[in-house]
Homo-oligomer: A and B are copies of this chain.
Amino acid sequence: MKQKIIYSEVQCTKHISAVEDALYVLGGKWKLRIIIALISGHNRFNELQRIIKGISARVLSNELKQLELNGLVERVVQADQVPVVIEYIATDYAATLKEVVGALADWGQKHKKKITANR
């Protein structure tokens, strides 16, 4: 007898669609990278562009807007300073991504070790 079916079709579909919902918000090349940088305390536009290698101003700008729409980032204008300084802050809600980011980073590290060991 095979003991293949761990989840029913319905459960599997549910599981897939939950991941789908997460990827809708976090998917793409840059969003998670931006969130990590923000959580790490890099908050200003040019600072982000410097630390996130390869991202263009246009893409960074667009991604920040989307993250703001999803409640993960807050755009704070420091009007008292000259020139006006703008900070992007990871919200408390973004902190709920810690486990996701942690799991991905752990796995990525392990995977890299595995790959480099095999050569």
Residues of A within 8 A of B (CB): 4-7, 9, 11-13, 15-23, 25-27, 29, 32-33, 36-37, 39-43, 51-53, 71, 93, 96-97, 99-112, 114
Contacts and interface: CB of A to CB of B under 8 A. Distances in A.
Contact of A23 (B5, B12, B37, B104): B104
Given A21-B111, A22-B105, A97-B107, A40 B15 contact: yes
Contacts of A23: 29, 32, 104, 108
19 contacts: A4-B43, A6-B40, A9-B51, A12-B40, A12-B42, A15-B36, A19-B32, A19-B33, A21-B109, A21-B111, A22-B107, A23-B108, A26-B104, A71-B114, A93-B114, A100-B107, A102-B103, A103-B103, A103-B104
